[in-house]
Structure 1
Amino acid sequence: MSFVQTIRSSLYFFFVTSAFLFNSVHSVDTCSTIARAHPEISTLYSQLVEYNVTLKDYWSTACSALKPSCILLPRSAQQVSDILKVLGQNDEPFAVKSGGHSPNKYFASIAGGPLISTKLLNEVNYNALTETVRVGPGNHWHNVSFAMQGTGRNAIGGRMGDVGVGGYLLGGGLGFLSAEHGWAANHILEAEVVLANATIVKASNTSNPDLLAAIKGGGGNFGIVTSFTLRTFPQDNVWGGIRLYTGGNTPALLAAIRDYTENNKDVKAGIIPTAEVTGANFVNIWFVFFFYNGPKPPKDVFAKFMAIPSLVDTTKTRTYDDLVRFNNNFVIRNSIYTIATETMPLPNATVGAEVMQGIYDTWHKVATSVGRVPGAVASIAWQPMPKAIIQASNQYGGIVLDLDDSADRIIIELDYSYFNSADDAQAEAATVKTYTDIKDKVEGYIEAGKLPDVHLPLFMNDCYHRQDYWGRLKNKDRYMAIREKVDPEGFWKKRTKGFAI
């Protein structure tokens, strides 16, 4: 064989071998590899009952309808690391699921790729000496509130107990205790995190402090958190429940919301006023969720709301756990739903009625356009964001969501729910139009001098998948640098969906 023939033969062998190895790497099936190499990790396939039970644990049936190739159930950080080592050998898209609250498809759900469910990472261990609680991301908040009963302490968690721990904390976490203590994420003291390269690290003020800062509202861009150690606060019985009002009380309720956001100085109080339109007849109702961190609120705290006649009143003294479980009754089940958000400055009393009604009417106009969609319910929640919450947050170092305390604000949550996937396009169009029109309305009021011109970032936990969470922040560059440090190859951005930085 000539020298040239030898070289050609060698090159042929090299390319054939390289092609084989390349295709072998990219054809690695995560599910079968884990099942074979790591039998200690539960691997569920579609023929198993538990596979379908896990998929039903989503708030939106659009997420439940996506069928992963398998569901992986790690029990430890090491098992999460083992899964990521396998994923590092292929290019399969995957998803990580905590409580299934996000209705954004592919954020915590997947079709065709593996789903990592954290449901077995479900510890709730209270340390009385340090007054901290170590919580696994697979919990729902009612698991935490139940476990904390009898300790005299509590962590800031979801206002509905069925919200999952993982996504809530990584998105910032707004709770009933936020006026007193800031965002829930402010109180992550330590986290166990599995990075993109499968390394297990601790994030705290003394170890990887930048990573700790980044997970406080930075979403799933920095790793898989396998446990959170949270600061707790004294907790006794609380007062709360809902009052149901007719749509005819809208002007009075909008006035009460505006006044409460500006003038309430009792940080133990909290509200979630929510207007809904439902059905072809466009039935208009309001649910107002009330909370007071004590057995009974002073009469003046909710006076303007109590002066408005209600159809139903369930407010009473109860345990915190009982309240968040009661609020679970208002989670709409067996429907597809979407969620979106916008942030608005609070109008002053002079123009308050005009501005609040203008925002409401902008929402209502789009909401009624989907009234004849089967099962349609449109809602708008007005979440007060007074300066007190930001001031409390800043005392603990702040979070990724960089609101300042220059103004009182309202974080608006927008939801549409409906029965059939055939109506997805109409619901998507309505969702986009709603938050776009409200944003335009807010900007118009700012331009007209009827609202102050202040920083208006978005709240990640309520963002629609098309909204630009990172683009609305001033401090994006800081977190991009941290992401480059812990994930230089952009693993999470390439392989998962979410609000990627």
Structure 2
Amino acid sequence: MVRLSTIALGLVYGLSNVLGVVADTATLTDPAIDGAVNVGFPTVNITAVLAEAENELGVNGTVTDNLPADYGAPGTTISARDLEKLQELRKRTFGNTVFGAIACLSLKILFPSKTAAVGSSNYAQWNNPSFWSSTTYMTPMCVFRPVSADDISCAMRIIALSQTDFNVVGGGHSAIKGWANAEDGVLIILSGLTGVKIKSGYAEVSTGERWGNVFTALDQNKLMALGGRMSTVGVPGLVLGGGISYLSNNWGFVADQVKNFEVVLANGWVVNANAGANADLFRALKGGSSNFGIVTRVDLYTWPCTKGVYSGQLYFADTRDYPKMFDAVYNYHTVGALQDTQTHLISAFVYVGALGMHMGAFTAFRNVSVPDGGPALKEVLEINPAVTNSSTLQVRPYGTQAIELGSGDMNGLRQDMRDFSVYADKELYKELFQIWNTTMIPKHGSKTGFMGTIAFQPITIKAVAAGVARGGNSLGLEGNTKTMGIINLTHQWADPSHDAAILASLDEIMTASIARAKARNAYHPYFYLNYARKQDNPIGSYGTASVNRLKIVSKYYDPCGIFQDRVPGGFKIPGL
């Protein structure tokens, strides 16, 4: 194992992209993270593994005949030129089924206990139960459950050479079919990558974790960090899409408070991306989604939280409170959130079909250890004293709020999430609620399992500035001069036969709502990626400058376009 300086490592990695030759493994002392870290990939004769799989399948030489003569030797990898040849071979000969079979059998040979084929007990356990929404269920040819970055490194070399389709799932909290699953290809599930290690000023979080486990570990150490607001959400997807936190008003998006990403690149290399090493990749990952590699660990900055926070949920069952609620929401977005950046407010208006009931479900948060909402939340807490008195507001360990909010979440229903953005506008907020309420509830409110939500979430100029202060992200919000409101529509129902009608109504609402926002000169083009529907191109909404940066990073770190071409789902970088 060779010790390389940052400069030498960059040189060797650059040569690997051009010549297809890299050092076998190396360590690097990175000043931005503690101690020595592994880079490179483990020595495994991938050619021999592929050849064995081809022989068992009776398709000898399908992949291996087109490899460089010395590919299987230690210290070699594939180059862009070689993969171009493989692409042509793939087009002329076989479909994805054969290449998927080669990849899956190769993984089974190399990782027998970590690879599950269709029909096996592990396959049934690892596939669909991992997903929040039944709209995302698919049938991959095999499921691969790695437990380390080295496992993924080997898998990526097999996948890149076999040219099969693949996908990666963290928490699986998406409603879009194909966004974290694969039909006939390889599904890589990250649930085997677990662990939260507390360091000095930050925590190393493996990307198989969900936020509930992360926050429990932080609470045990009297710490807090930016993360998901529901315990059931997975770590990687939320961070790579930006991520909104209870602490965002003060410290920006979750991605803004990442210290380091550990990433497996398309060529199998395991690298770190932070402010001092691979800084262009570091910024790209902060909102650029799954376009550059498989993130296996996220290092999050932490802060002391010795006495807890003041937070809880308020449930308004009387619709006569709604006018006051909209006043309070608007005033919080435009005044309160700017005055007290230690606060956060989720304002959700819900219809529960089984009960035939409208309800305001507000989550109030303030980073103080006394039962005081302060002036920023005062108006919300005074809407209805009876509601406030019966709320779950209390001084509590930081992570328990996410656990409370996630306690009612369940897998297996039909789900849809979507969003759009506006500038804060009280009358517009009311009109958007009415468009939603008069369209969805009469048509679909009585359908089995139906529950619908429209939520209003602020992104203040202070939250954006916090991201700039950390070196910037990929979201393209720099320069905003007033509060944005992200309008989030979330719906669930039970019967697949209702999909078409419900989705058509939601499309109608989106069209009417955006038109109304534009008519009031309050529309903002940004789509928050973690809520966006398939057709809304959130990465394109980041603006030309950000998209151009992402293109450059993608071409450098994934020159063969593996994550653009071989991953069927996910939001891609436009123009690549």
Match of 2:534? Answer: 465
Do 2:131 and 2:412's aligned partners in 1 also have CA atoms closer than 8 Å?
no
SS of the residue corresponding to residue 435 of structure 2 reads helix
Amino acid at match of 1:315: L
Matched, 1:223 2:293: yes
In the alignment, the residues of structure 2 paired with residue 124 and residue 306 of structure 1 have an alpha-carbon distance, to the nearest angstrom, of 35
- What is the identity percentage for the equivalent residue pairs of Structure 1 and Structure 2? 25
Matched, 1:77 2:149: yes
Cα drift, residue 19 of structure 1: 8.1
Cα drift, residue 133 of structure 1: 0.8
Do 1:190 and 1:228's aligned partners in 2 also have CA atoms closer than 8 Å?
yes
SS of the residue corresponding to residue 438 of structure 1 reads helix
Match of 1:407? Answer: 482
Higher mean alpha-carbon deviation, 456-465 vs 292-301, is at 292-301
In the alignment, the residues of structure 2 paired with residue 85 and residue 316 of structure 1 have an alpha-carbon distance, to the nearest angstrom, of 50
Match of 1:202? Answer: 272
Which residue of the other structure, out of 172, 177, 191, is the alignment partner of 1:100? Answer: 172
SS of the residue corresponding to residue 391 of structure 1 reads helix
Match of 2:213? Answer: 143
Give 1:47-62 correspondences, 5 Å limit.
47-48=120-121, 51-52=124-125, 55-62=128-135
Match of 2:444? Answer: 370
Amino acid at match of 1:242: Q
Do 1:344 and 1:442's aligned partners in 2 also have CA atoms closer than 8 Å?
yes
Higher mean alpha-carbon deviation, 489-498 vs 86-95, is at 86-95
Match of 2:259? Answer: 189
SS of the residue corresponding to residue 260 of structure 2 reads strand
Structure 1 residues 92 and 50: CA distance shift in structure 2, 3 A: closer
Deviations 1:202-251 (A, max 9, x none): 21112111000000000000110111112112223112111111233222
Match of 1:6? Answer: none
Matched, 1:341 2:419: yes
In the alignment, the residues of structure 2 paired with residue 39 and residue 488 of structure 1 have an alpha-carbon distance, to the nearest angstrom, of 31
Cα drift, residue 430 of structure 1: 2.4
Give 1:306-325 correspondences, 5 Å limit.
306-309=381-384, 311=387, 312-325=390-403
Match of 1:7? Answer: none
Q: Normalising to structure 1: TM-score of the pair? A: 0.89
Amino acid at match of 2:419: T
Do 1:370 and 1:376's aligned partners in 2 also have CA atoms closer than 8 Å?
yes
In the alignment, the residues of structure 1 paired with residue 193 and residue 529 of structure 2 have an alpha-carbon distance, to the nearest angstrom, of 23
Which residue of the other structure, out of 422, 428, 437, is the alignment partner of 2:497? Answer: 422
Match of 2:4? Answer: none
In the alignment, the residues of structure 2 paired with residue 317 and residue 54 of structure 1 have an alpha-carbon distance, to the nearest angstrom, of 39
Amino acid at match of 1:467: D
Structure 1 residues 286 and 33: CA distance shift in structure 2, 3 A: same
Higher mean alpha-carbon deviation, 215-224 vs 234-243, is at 234-243
Give 1:53-452 correspondences, 5 Å limit.
55-63=128-136, 65-128=137-200, 131-236=201-306, 237-246=308-317, 247-264=319-336, 265-279=339-353, 283-295=357-369, 296-309=371-384, 311=387, 312-347=390-425, 352=426, 354-368=427-441, 369-403=443-477, 404-446=479-521, 451=522
SS of the residue corresponding to residue 493 of structure 1 reads helix
Deviations 1:426-461 (A, max 9, x none): 232123222222211111111xxxx4x7x5311111
Cα drift, residue 24 of structure 1: 7.5
SS of the residue corresponding to residue 191 of structure 1 reads strand
Cα drift, residue 54 of structure 1: 5.0
In the alignment, the residues of structure 2 paired with residue 46 and residue 140 of structure 1 have an alpha-carbon distance, to the nearest angstrom, of 27
Do 1:370 and 1:430's aligned partners in 2 also have CA atoms closer than 8 Å?
no
Q: Structure 1 stretches of 5 or more lacking a match?
A: 1-15
Cα drift, residue 282 of structure 1: 5.2
Amino acid at match of 1:238: V
In the alignment, the residues of structure 2 paired with residue 95 and residue 263 of structure 1 have an alpha-carbon distance, to the nearest angstrom, of 43
Cα drift, residue 181 of structure 1: 0.9
Higher mean alpha-carbon deviation, 484-493 vs 308-317, is at 308-317
Cα drift, residue 346 of structure 1: 1.1
In the alignment, the residues of structure 1 paired with residue 526 and residue 135 of structure 2 have an alpha-carbon distance, to the nearest angstrom, of 27
In the alignment, the residues of structure 1 paired with residue 164 and residue 481 of structure 2 have an alpha-carbon distance, to the nearest angstrom, of 45
Do 2:131 and 2:411's aligned partners in 1 also have CA atoms closer than 8 Å?
no
Amino acid at match of 2:514: K
Amino acid at match of 1:329: S
In the alignment, the residues of structure 2 paired with residue 17 and residue 37 of structure 1 have an alpha-carbon distance, to the nearest angstrom, of 18
Cα drift, residue 490 of structure 1: 1.9
Structure 1 residues 361 and 149: CA distance shift in structure 2, 3 A: same
Cα drift, residue 494 of structure 1: 1.5
Do 2:242 and 2:529's aligned partners in 1 also have CA atoms closer than 8 Å?
yes
SS of the residue corresponding to residue 398 of structure 1 reads coil
Cα drift, residue 70 of structure 1: 2.0
SS of the residue corresponding to residue 238 of structure 2 reads helix
Higher mean alpha-carbon deviation, 167-176 vs 381-390, is at 381-390
Cα drift, residue 18 of structure 1: 8.8
In the alignment, the residues of structure 2 paired with residue 18 and residue 111 of structure 1 have an alpha-carbon distance, to the nearest angstrom, of 24
Amino acid at match of 1:483: S
Structure 1 residues 82 and 272: CA distance shift in structure 2, 3 A: same
Cα drift, residue 112 of structure 1: 2.6
In the alignment, the residues of structure 1 paired with residue 280 and residue 184 of structure 2 have an alpha-carbon distance, to the nearest angstrom, of 34
Match of 2:10? Answer: none
The root-mean-square deviation of aligned C-alpha atoms, in Å, is 2.3
Do 2:129 and 2:411's aligned partners in 1 also have CA atoms closer than 8 Å?
no
Match of 2:30? Answer: none
Higher mean alpha-carbon deviation, 470-479 vs 117-126, is at 470-479
In the alignment, the residues of structure 2 paired with residue 19 and residue 381 of structure 1 have an alpha-carbon distance, to the nearest angstrom, of 52
Amino acid at match of 2:560: E
Structure 1 residues 366 and 197: CA distance shift in structure 2, 3 A: farther
Do 2:202 and 2:299's aligned partners in 1 also have CA atoms closer than 8 Å?
yes
Higher mean alpha-carbon deviation, 221-230 vs 323-332, is at 323-332
Structure 1 residues 388 and 138: CA distance shift in structure 2, 3 A: same
Do 1:51 and 1:71's aligned partners in 2 also have CA atoms closer than 8 Å?
no
Cα drift, residue 49 of structure 1: 5.0
Q: Normalising to structure 2: TM-score of the pair? A: 0.78
Cα drift, residue 299 of structure 1: 4.3
Do 2:366 and 2:373's aligned partners in 1 also have CA atoms closer than 8 Å?
no
Q: Structure 2 stretches of 5 or more lacking a match?
A: 1-58, 66-88
Cα drift, residue 93 of structure 1: 2.0
In the alignment, the residues of structure 1 paired with residue 353 and residue 231 of structure 2 have an alpha-carbon distance, to the nearest angstrom, of 27
Number of residue pairs matched by the alignment: 472
Structure 1 residues 199 and 308: CA distance shift in structure 2, 3 A: same
Higher mean alpha-carbon deviation, 197-206 vs 296-305, is at 296-305
